Amino acid sequence: MSGSHAVLRRCVSCRRLADRRQFWRLIRVGGGRVVLDEGMGRSAYLCPARACLEEARRRKRLQKALRCPVPVEILTELEARLGPDSTPRP
């Protein structure tokens, strides 16, 4: 069996289905801690887009998917990954 098939996941915000490598991964590890990218535990996937991050923050989608609070530091790190303001200029 070849390992080349895509593993599909769904964004908790926009519900887009895509290869898991296209998403940010948040993981609830032991003790209810939330980490980014690596680890074993309950996971939530999020598109690396400002709109998805804001929608997830506003509707508490990550907290619901992970079934635990998501620290502000994690949301700040995801926002930093977006880089400078990515909104279109007039």
Digit-coded pLDDT (tens) for 21-77: 999 999 999 888 999 999 999 999 999 999 999 999 999 999 999 999 999 999 999
| Domains in the chain: boundaries | 8-81
Q: For 8-81, CATH number?
A: 3.30.1230.10
First to last CA, the chain: 51
| pLDDT at residue number 84 | 76
| pLDDT at residue number 83 | 86
pTM of the shown model: 0.86
Rounded to whole angstroms, the Cα distance separating 59 from 27 reads 19
